[in-house]
A and B are shown apart, each in its own frame.
Chain A
Amino acid sequence: MELLRLKHALFGLPPRPRRVRARRHRAAAALGGIAMSALLALLLAGTTMAVEPSASAGEPSPSAAEPSPSAGEQSASPSTRGSPASSPVTSPSVSPDESGDLPGQVLSPGEAAPPGFFPPAPVTEQGRDINNLYSIVFWIAAAIFIFVEALILWAVLRYRRLDDTLPAQTHGNRIAEFIWTLIPAVIVVFLFVASTTVIYRVEAKSENPDLTVDVYGFQWQWSFGYDCPQEFGSAGGFTRVEDCGLSFTGQGAQGPEMVLPVGQLVQIRLHGSDVNHAFYVPQFLYKKDVIPGQVNRFEVRVEQPGTYTGQCAEFCGLAHASMNFTVRAVPPSEYDAWKTQAEQEAEERENATPPPSPSGDGGDGETGATVEIAAENASAFTADQAEAPADQPFSIAFDNRDPSAPHNVSIRGATPEGDFVPPIADPGQQASYEVPPLAAGEYEFYCVVHPNMQGTLTVR
């Protein structure tokens, strides 16, 4: 009985009335049909359009098979993830515009293709896992989408009202309903299993990563630290990235650059102290939140050398949109060279400029005039107007009362080379900056870490 009704409900077609009366209904049906087909066409066109660029971007370039000569060298330390040498590492000599099909825009190998139906080509081992999972979900969803939209379209076109007879009053069918409960349930369980395997692979943490980089996110800038103290691994242990062997604090909307060795397992630890942020590199297909009071960590093994843009993904206030950074992945030998050089430069800088004097009560008045400027948060200086005497050196007593962000006071166009950019004062620190003589006029002063912090310095 049920089966008969199922057949009746699903396959039996109502007899077609010969005379068509409801012209307006047809027009409406046609309208609905057109709208729906437009939607289908839009999506299908999008799919084909999108599949092509991302397919070509995903294909390894001719030289991809040949592993970078030095890729395996640095991986002496035990790793849970197999030897990096076996991972496909593209040599950096891939021609930059290979995957670029946007006129006038040069794309480096891993750089973002134009928006399509698939994520950007992944450049990390973990990203590949995520990308594969995405593809599985995408094709299943696409199949369901086309199937269901086709059913709707069919119903709209086939069963539009042609006469006023009452159709059979079918109240339901247990078998049919059971089937369309069961099939989604099976699909869903399959997807769950697939996702869980990927969760465990992507979220795995090794005891001994090849490299650990600490990230400090604050309103609205990033600092990256290499060779950081061991205690940074625990929630209360983090102090400041300046305590690390090597550290970089971003400047301006461009933010800092993180250099990573290709093929090595890198653990990234995320620290915050003001509000939530998120460390997001689209080409890693991965983001993780930066949350005050806890250390979040994740691991990546970058497989493709290149420069990848990253951005804060968790809304964090005024200048959230300009909280950028870049990740540059280079072969390990290049990484070592970079690091030695960066350490040298840091040392030179340390010797060249005395660290901002933590002078207790801001400025001794020896050089003449003192301008007092303070910051309490990263939105603005406490005052956006300041005055200084013309044509004589003066000092700025800067009081950084902000508990979480470093700041400084830079002056645009104050030196022949460009801006006057003194060292950055850590959270809670005071600094005294000696400014060379300035001609009378109005100057813009700003924080080099936070371009949104601005003021006017009137020199007369």
Chain B
Amino acid sequence: MATTALTPRAIPYPRSRVYEWLTTTDHKKIGVLYITSSFIFFLLAGILALFIRSELALPGSQIFDPTSGLYNQVFTMHGTTMIFLFVMPMLTGFGNYIVPLQIGAADMAFPRINALSFWMIPLSGILLFSGFFLGGAAAAGWTSYAPLSAREVGPGQDLWIVGLILNGTSSILGGINFIATIFKLRAPGMTLMRMPLFVWNVLVTSLLLLFAVPVLTSALIMLFIDRNYGGGFFNPAAGGNAILWQHVFWFFGHPEVYIMILPAFGIISEVLPVFSRKPLFGYRAFVMATVAIGALGFGVWAHHMFTTGSVYLPFFAFTTFLISVPTGVKMFNWIATMWRGRLQFTTAMLFAVGFLATFLIGGLDGAFAAAAPVDFHLQDTYWVVSHLHYVLFGGSAFGVFAATYYWFPKIFGVRLDEGFGKIHFTLHFLGTQLAFFPMHLLGLDGMPRRIQDYSPAAGWQDMNVLSTIGAFMIAISILPFLWNVFISLRKPRDAGDDPWDAFTLEWATTSPPPPHNFDALPPIRSERPLFDLKYGELMGGHAGQHATPAEAAGYPTEADREAQSDPQGRADLPTNPTVADVEAGTTARSEAGGSGVIVVRPADSEAPGQPAAPATEAAPETPAAPETPATPETGEPKLVPPVTHAPGEGEVTSAADASRPSAEVTERVRRQARQKGTPPSDARPEEPR
């Protein structure tokens, strides 16, 4: 049975809060540190982007002196920061916080290494940015192509190299930590094929990190030798090779693209099902697609080098086309997840849907770039800048914001305000299209990337003005977000354990979780243990399909439930409803971890699989029986009738229904169970405490 009934008797001893945060090895605190520091770097790099956009809005030099080379430093630092100090650590931060919770673990496998990995990140950021104050930051682009990067004078490029080696070391350690955690610390019952998709994506990402980042590190070391010790790896005059860098860099760089997008895929795969009230459509396909993307990701690097004249074009065109298939499968499966669901447009869901709509463009762009001859035209133009922002901004950054709105209540115990959230989303979404779509057109027209200036005769001004307006719109959209975080943190922390009525284990504990995460775990028989717990496996959990005989035999018995009927008691063995429960119309509930998870059954529902037909005025609203009756004997997932929530809900003005703390639902159902037999519409919930 799934039990993690550790109740460590921690002896509290006084420590200053600062000291506590500086020395913490708690994955949750480290996660928060990752998330906040990455967000600060996001703001910094965003400010750099505004400088870039202001410079480019009009022909001529607006901000930067063209002979100073400052513009080149700014876009190099913008790209480098966004990738290595924002997207990667931000996603690692969410991984840090959420992965142990989702697999029912108490912490990461190596908590101290975890802390070490984190502290390397701000240090690498400081090294990278210190270039600005020491005579010029790196200015060779985030790709730092040799021989240019080997010839640039000044300390900026060396600081860049050292900073990225440090950053990469952090990523490698983090990757190892995730792999060990996911393989070794899963709760009993959490088989690989029951892991939430976010965990799967973090796992594949970690493997990619492990294989890709050392390659970058070696390239960086070679570059450092070339620059400082007279090496000639990249200098043809000394017997080196000028495009060796590109091979090595992109062998890291393309998997890097998936490192930045896969965790975002994972986030979307968590958010969409919860707010569609359906399981992820095609779980297996998702897992296979994720693994396929990870594997194929190592075979496409030279599509960044189509114009170098020294790669075999058809091969890399083929692998690049090929990798779009699993990505396409994901897109359709996401839409199928929403299909026929009950979509609730919380801000998290809006960002997830915005992700689908926007990432689609970035993905379709891939088909253009994979067609090598078309890439001859597009390579190194603003079209590429557009494409990479549709993927990184429309993809990763949308994922990050979806995750923020979704997990904020878990992390801080209070939900972000939905009103400000929607303002944020609207501005953010429109700003993204406005900022980045015109870049497609500019690139198609031949505007190269990484230029500080363009000729007024080129006809590029209008689109550049639009793009700049969009960039400022994105910047403005961040203000309601910041304000939202600020006011939300001042509110009472009353989100409850499970504000979204979600499916995965992180919602089975308190918000925020205790240091040891769980007092008790629900049984895990599908990728949605909490859903099973609340709605019963008969309502579509496919435990019947996957449960091992032992587990099947391990169903809670009557005695188990008796044992935990003490309402204050902390149950070791939470419980799922038995058929008998359902037939009796009783409600099984678990106090596990104080999560108040419940199973809702109409008091007077009939046998399992039969349409629930409460004899109340709510009846007309109850959807009719499904076309397919349940077939318990096949063990197939059943198309069961939609479960009515607690009867009487029709009367409750619904605005905040699903977002109401689950404790309240629990309360309602408990009372309803007590008043068994009375018309459910009378069972009105009281307001939450």
How far is B626's CA from A162's CA once the two chains are assembled, in angstroms?
Answer: 18
How far is B307's CA from A314's CA once the two chains are assembled, in angstroms?
Answer: 10
Check if B72 is an interface residue, CB within 8 A of chain A.
Answer: yes
1/0 per residue A1-40: CB within 8 Å of B? Answer: 1001100111011110111011111001101100110110
Number of interface residues of A (CB under 8 A): 127
Do the beta carbons of A159 and B309 come within 8 Å of each other? no
Check if A342 is an interface residue, CB within 8 A of chain B.
Answer: no
Chain A residues contacting B317 (CB-CB under 8 Å) are 192, 195-196, 199
Which residues in window 420-448 of B have CB below 8 A to A? 422, 425-426, 429-430, 433, 437-438, 441-442, 444-448
Do the beta carbons of A191 and B640 come within 8 Å of each other? no
Check if A202 is an interface residue, CB within 8 A of chain B.
Answer: yes
Chain B residues contacting A44 (CB-CB under 8 Å) are none
Check if A110 is an interface residue, CB within 8 A of chain B.
Answer: no
Do the beta carbons of A172 and B283 come within 8 Å of each other? yes
How far is B437's CA from A63's CA once the two chains are assembled, in angstroms?
Answer: 37
Determine the residue in chain B with the shortest Cβ distance to A172.
B282
Check if A120 is an interface residue, CB within 8 A of chain B.
Answer: yes
Which residues in window 25-72 of A have CB below 8 A to B? 25, 28-29, 31-32, 35-36, 38-39, 42-43, 46, 50
Chain A residues contacting B463 (CB-CB under 8 Å) are 115
Do the beta carbons of B345 and A163 come within 8 Å of each other? no
Do the beta carbons of A9 and B336 come within 8 Å of each other? yes
Check if B278 is an interface residue, CB within 8 A of chain A.
Answer: yes
Chain B residues contacting A276 (CB-CB under 8 Å) are 145, 147-148, 242-243
Given A148-B360, A196-B317: A318 touches B72 (CB 8 Å cut-off): yes
Chain A residues contacting B539 (CB-CB under 8 Å) are 166, 169
Do the beta carbons of A32 and B380 come within 8 Å of each other? no
The stretch from A88-96, A138-146, A346-354 touching chain B is: A138-146
Do the beta carbons of B626 and A168 come within 8 Å of each other? yes
Determine the residue in chain B with the shortest Cβ distance to A195.
B371
Which residues in window 124-170 of A have CB below 8 A to B? 129-130, 133-134, 137-138, 140-141, 144-145, 148-149, 151-152, 155-156, 159-170
Do the beta carbons of B627 and A321 come within 8 Å of each other? no
Do the beta carbons of A161 and B343 come within 8 Å of each other? yes
For A145, give its contact among B240, B360, B624, B656 (CB under 8 Å). Answer: B360
Do the beta carbons of A152 and B353 come within 8 Å of each other? yes
Determine the residue in chain A with the shortest Cβ distance to B382.
A115
Do the beta carbons of B152 and A14 come within 8 Å of each other? no
For A31, give its contact among B141, B358, B374, B422 (CB under 8 Å). Answer: B422
Given A167-B340, A181-B329, A275-B151: A313 touches B308 (CB 8 Å cut-off): no
How far is B455's CA from A286's CA once the two chains are assembled, in angstroms?
Answer: 20
Do the beta carbons of B342 and A161 come within 8 Å of each other? yes
Chain B, interface residues (CB within 8 Å), range: 35 or more
CB distance from B247 to the nearest CB of A (A): 12
Residue of B145, B377, B433, B622 ringed by the most chain A CB atoms within 10 A: B377
Do the beta carbons of B343 and A18 come within 8 Å of each other? no
Secondary structure of the A contact surface, majority rule: mixed
Given A119-B444, A165-B643, A165-B645: A278 touches B458 (CB 8 Å cut-off): no
Chain B residues contacting A117 (CB-CB under 8 Å) are 441, 444
Do the beta carbons of A320 and B450 come within 8 Å of each other? yes
1/0 per residue B186-204: CB within 8 Å of A? Answer: 0000000000000000000
Check if A185 is an interface residue, CB within 8 A of chain B.
Answer: yes
Check if B395 is an interface residue, CB within 8 A of chain A.
Answer: no
How far is B437's CA from A275's CA once the two chains are assembled, in angstroms?
Answer: 31
**Top 8 closest A-B pairs, CB basis?**
A293-B236, A169-B540, A282-B446, A28-B345, A321-B451, A115-B441, A296-B309, A165-B642
Q: List 17 A-B contacts (CB under 8 A).
A: A4-B628, A28-B346, A31-B345, A152-B357, A156-B343, A159-B276, A160-B342, A165-B644, A167-B277, A167-B342, A177-B329, A196-B314, A292-B242, A296-B309, A312-B448, A318-B67, A322-B453
Residues of B within 8 A of A (CB): 66-67, 69, 72, 139-141, 145, 147-148, 151-152, 236-237, 240-243, 276-279, 281-285, 307-310, 313-314, 317-318, 321-322, 324-325, 328-329, 331-333, 335-336, 338-346, 350, 353-354, 356-358, 360-361, 364, 367-368, 370-374, 376-377, 379-381, 422, 425-426, 429-430, 433, 437-438, 441-442, 444-455, 457-460, 462-463, 535, 539-542, 620-624, 626-628, 636-640, 642-645, 649-650, 653-658
Other than the known A31-B425, A315-B72, A318-B67, what 18 A-B pairs have Cβ atoms closer than 8 Å? A29-B343, A32-B350, A39-B433, A42-B433, A112-B458, A116-B444, A130-B374, A155-B338, A162-B342, A163-B621, A166-B645, A172-B333, A180-B328, A280-B446, A291-B242, A311-B446, A321-B452, A454-B67
